[in-house]
Amino acid sequence: MNCRGQTLTFGESTHVMGILNVTPDSFSDGGHYLAAARAVARAQAMVAEGATLIDIGGESSRPGAVPVPTVEELARVVPVIRALADAVDVPLSVDTYKARVARDALEAGAHLVNDITALNGDSEMANVVAEMGAGVVLMHIQGTPRTMQQAPHYDDVIGDIRLWLQERVQFAEANGIAPERIIIDPGIGFGKTTAHNLEILKRLEAFRELNKPVLIGTSRKSFIGNVLALPVEERVEGTVATVCWAIAHGADIVRVHDVKAVVRAARMTDALSQ
């Protein structure tokens, strides 16, 4: 996958995407990296720990989160991406569903757009991704961050999500996004109960049928806390367990906060999977 001059190779080893939230209210690390200098330092540390991508987000998508004005999101992410474009040598992803934010972030040096709405949130997003030659992550979500955890329901959680992602892939390709620049994400925690999330992981191979790289984001999420009865700051081991399982069952990219621990676990799992 070539994204604006950066190449991602799949099938050799699992990519570890480090999470960089430049927000005051993200569920796990809100407020830690609002200052651009701290954000850049954190990204550099994650790369040193083995991250092969960095995902920068300026709007929290935690359950119950409210949208952030575009101008505020731009002020949070663009300076950080511009600084990181010269500070690290791994692909940069912008976590946004707003076309204006995506365009400015890509112009500042980002390579991918990680869209939690799978191009549904802004009618111009597909055009921006296609025009800029960016990669895109199409993630499944039921509802919006504000409403998604109120009453998630599926007739067939795997079948419903797989069909939805297939339709979004077709939409992306029909709107000029190159097939080889599309990644899919079943959206762990985005409109799903604990049982739904566990089922997605158990049957992760089903998403391989779409013939796209699969991204999984389980890091520190509430379903881990529900299973282990642990607060967010004590979910590292649970995260590592879900990452190892996901890699063994077909994940190509894992999106995490705890890069050092996950990189070590991922490399071991990769060796066992070969």
pLDDT of res. 32: 61
Number of alpha carbons in the 13 Å side-chain half-sphere of residue 186 = 31
Residues 103, 192, 220, 255: which is the catalytic one? 255
> By the 8 A CB rule, do 161 and 186 touch?
yes
The residues, ordered by sequence, that sit 6+ positions from 177 with a Cβ below 8 Å of its Cβ are: 126, 129, 130, 136
Strands of 71-176, DSSP E: 92-95, 112-115, 135-139
Query: Is 162 considered catalytic here?
Result: no
Is residue 99 within a helix (H) or strand (E), and if so which, with residue range?
helix 99-108
Which of 98, 168, 221, 235 is labelled catalytic?
Answer: 221
Q: Are 243 and 256 in contact (CB under 8 A)?
A: yes
71 near 92, Cβ under 8 Å? Answer: no
pTM > 0.85: yes or no:
yes
For the chain (length 274 residues), average pLDDT per consecutive 10? 92 95 63 74 96 94 80 93 94 97 97 97 97 97 79 92 98 98 96 96 96 97 97 96 97 97 97 88
Give the Cβ contact number of residue 224 at 10 Å. Answer: 24
pLDDT score, position 149 = 81
List, in order of start, the domains of the chain with CATH numbers: 2-273 (3.20.20.20)
Under DSSP, the state recorded for 204 is G
Per the CB < 8 A criterion, the answer to whether 158 and 199 are in contact is yes
Reply yes or no on whether 221 is catalytic.
yes
